[in-house]
Structure 1
Amino acid sequence: MAQHSIVPVFKLYGEQMGWPTPELLHCESIHQRSSLYEWHIRVHQHAELVQILYLHKGQAEIEVEGEKIVVTEACIQVVPSLCVHGFRFSPGTQGYVLSLALPLLTRFEAEFGRQMAVLSRPHCIAVKQSRLHIRTLFSTLLDEYQQDNDARELMLHAMLSALLVWLNRQVQGSLPVEDKAERRRAVMRQFARQIESHYREHLPLSDYAQAIGLSVTHLNYLCHEFYDCSALNVLHQRLMLEAKRSLQYTSMTVTQLSDYLGFSDATYFSRFFRRYAGVSPKIFRENMKRSKDIP
């Protein structure tokens, strides 16, 4: 437990900003971020996203939950949410990093019809004869991500679906037995899925705890271990994520957004937003518009 209290929790490595895009996925080359840090991404964890790293060419030392491996062949490393991980690349390493926010994954799992087991445990999957196919998939996905083409989100989701199905097929029937730490992470992922299904309903924490078979006290204990905050704060962070995204990427009025998020009135919503963001919803939206106008 002590380990989780000292490991940095990032949205994206080295950043403290909110989620940067409306579609809740982020794609970049290994070079784009790692070269800024001398090709060394120090150990950290992500509370609210899963990462899929594709190593195409070069060498990488991958550390996940204290275990290190060195890979030199094309492979995909899956890093589930709340897993402590870090990377050390040889300079010039080629590949891609795909970050997927949990709300997006919940949507994909609903379409898939069941939980995607491949994203629930860390895996290093050799690409082998699929190397050209996977490289093309990632490079096309990055190109689409960086453009503003017609039906962009539909295309991104189509390519992501193809990748997730391929990954899930590689590990069918090969999942290891869960250890105690993984069971705790699995419970937190259940909590995240419950939040995703009900965060606009403003249910009491006791309902969430009951749904995943815990007491409120134990749920708070695990949230402090993995998120470094209370269960209520985790729930409020999801509300704030949706509020900020809606203010930034939609034209909903504050009153409309308040209704959409299930608040009893706009005044209460504005007080809630100011408590976590430090500014009113109106000022936040104005600040976002100004930041877009700065070249």
Structure 2
Amino acid sequence: MQQESAGSVITLSVRHLSLLDARYPGLAALFGSPRVIPLYEAALASITACVTALMRELGWAASGHDAAVDAALLGILVGTWRAGGPAAPDAASLPGQQSALVARFRARIDERFRLREPIAVHAAALGVSESRLRTARTRIAGLSPAAMLDQRAMLEVKRALLYTNLSVAEVGFAAGFADPAYFTRFFTRHAGVSQRTFRTTGGSRT
């Protein structure tokens, strides 16, 4: 005798999951590895109600639409999270996998650091949550993803200041800083001196 399955399929983008996981750390762990989570009566009723609410909200665009969709989605995720208990460590949490993720992140920012993209954009492009990228980067290299982005930008800026004749504003623009004032604050915060001082001293004071 063959039993048929009945239920709902919910598709959630990696980017949106990353945004939710950044606010409520741990949600992304639900998707770390394939799992079958049994839902008992109370959990099933709660999650079914959230699914119904989600489908209703997706069918129209009343006031508070986005908030209502996220509320229903969070109800589903949290209900499933609680029903399943702690997830087993997944492959992405292993040191080798974390090193590979950091290497992919490093290669991406080498190509795109001038765009000054948010960490969430990098995480989505790499197919992981923002919290997972942050954890891997901190464990492997002791730096947050944001610090790694700033470090790469500073390397490029320092090279340009020392080895080109570009003006300070041109150096900043080439590195992705459209606002000269912000570029000055950024550089001074990281180098401890202004761009002009760094250039005239050959970087010896940093």
TM-score of the aligned structures, taking structure 1 as reference length: 0.37
Q: Deviations over 1:101-131 (max 9, x none)?
A: xxxxxxxxxxxxxxxxxxxxxxxxxxxxxxx
Matched, 1:230 2:144: yes
Corresponding residue for 1:193?
107
Letter of the 1:210 counterpart:
A
How far residue 255 of structure 1 moved from its aligned partner, in angstroms, is 0.8
1:282 to 196, 201, 204: 196
Aligned residue-pair number: 113
Could you say what the CA RMSD is over the residues aligned between the two structures, in angstroms? 1.9
How far residue 188 of structure 1 moved from its aligned partner, in angstroms, is 0.5
Separation (CA, whole Å) in 2 of partners of 1:290 and 1:181: 37
Matched, 1:202 2:110: no
Letter of the 2:148 counterpart:
V
Letter of the 1:201 counterpart:
L
SS in 1 for 2:147: helix
Letter of the 2:143 counterpart:
C
2:154 to 218, 237, 240: 240
1:259 to 173, 179, 183: 173
Answer whether contact 2:98 2:140 (CA < 8 A) is retained: no
Q: Deviations over 1:136-157 (max 9, x none)?
A: xxxxxxxxxxxxxxxxxxxxxx
How far residue 287 of structure 1 moved from its aligned partner, in angstroms, is 1.0
Letter of the 1:256 counterpart:
E
In the TM superposition, structure 1's runs of 4+ consecutive aligned residues that sit over 3 Å from their partners are: none
Separation (CA, whole Å) in 2 of partners of 1:203 and 1:284: 26
Answer whether contact 2:177 2:183 (CA < 8 A) is retained: yes
Separation (CA, whole Å) in 1 of partners of 2:133 and 2:201: 36
TM-score of the aligned structures, taking structure 2 as reference length: 0.52
How far residue 236 of structure 1 moved from its aligned partner, in angstroms, is 0.4
User: Relative to structure 1, is the Cα distance of residues 213 and 253 closer, same or farther in structure 2, using a 3 angstrom cutoff?
Assistant: same
Separation (CA, whole Å) in 2 of partners of 1:268 and 1:258: 9
1:214 to 128, 131, 146: 128
How far residue 181 of structure 1 moved from its aligned partner, in angstroms, is 2.2
Asked which structure has the greater RCO (Cα within 8 Å, sep 6+), the reply is 2
How far residue 267 of structure 1 moved from its aligned partner, in angstroms, is 1.3
Separation (CA, whole Å) in 1 of partners of 2:148 and 2:104: 13
Richer in strand (by share): 1
Richer in helix (by share): 2
Q: Deviations over 1:35-88 (max 9, x none)?
A: xxxxxxxxxxxxxxxxxxxxxxxxxxxxxxxxxxxxxxxxxxxxxxxxxxxxxx
Answer whether contact 1:227 1:234 (CA < 8 A) is retained: no
How far residue 252 of structure 1 moved from its aligned partner, in angstroms, is 0.8
Gaps of at least 5 residues in structure 1 are 1-178
